[in-house]
Amino acid sequence: MFLFGNAKKKLEEQVKELQAQLEVKEIKEQKQLNLVYDDIDASTHIFDWAAVGAFSIERNMKTQDDELIAYTLIGYLKDKYEDGAVTVGEWSFICSQEEHNRLAADFALYLALKNQPKPVKAPPKEVAPSKVTRK
């Protein structure tokens, strides 16, 4: 019986050691994941709104890895058909609220410029014939 007691004790010690190693690994992975999230949050995003056919930018939330996170969603026109029908797509990406607000302000400016009335060109002025004086 003593032999089995030692084996059990050894197994329990091995389990504790493996649990400690797993905990260290999980902490390292979480630190790495936090570094990646920090990198994403600090990144600047640039869009050519006209080229992608964007029509909206929104802030939303979802669950990722059992954690509720905020993300940015950009709606765009995906396909245009001859009959006038369109299909839409969505891009979603994680960024900070500051970066989202910067993109939203950029999109608002794009829309304001896009929707500005086009200046009407005045018709060319008729040029009066020049009078030539003779000496």
What are the strands of the beta sheet with 86-93, ordered from one edge? 54-64, 67-80, 86-93
pLDDT in tens, 23-65: 989 888 888 888 887 887 777 778 888 888 899 999 999 998 8
The H or E element spanning position 45 is: none
| pTM for the structure as a whole | 0.58
pLDDT digits (tens, 9 = 90+) for 86-123: 899 999 988 888 889 999 999 999 999 988 888 777 77
Domain ranges of the chain: 1-42, 45-115
Handedness of CA 19, 20, 25, 31 (dihedral sign): positive
CA–CA separation, 31 vs 38, rounded Å? 10
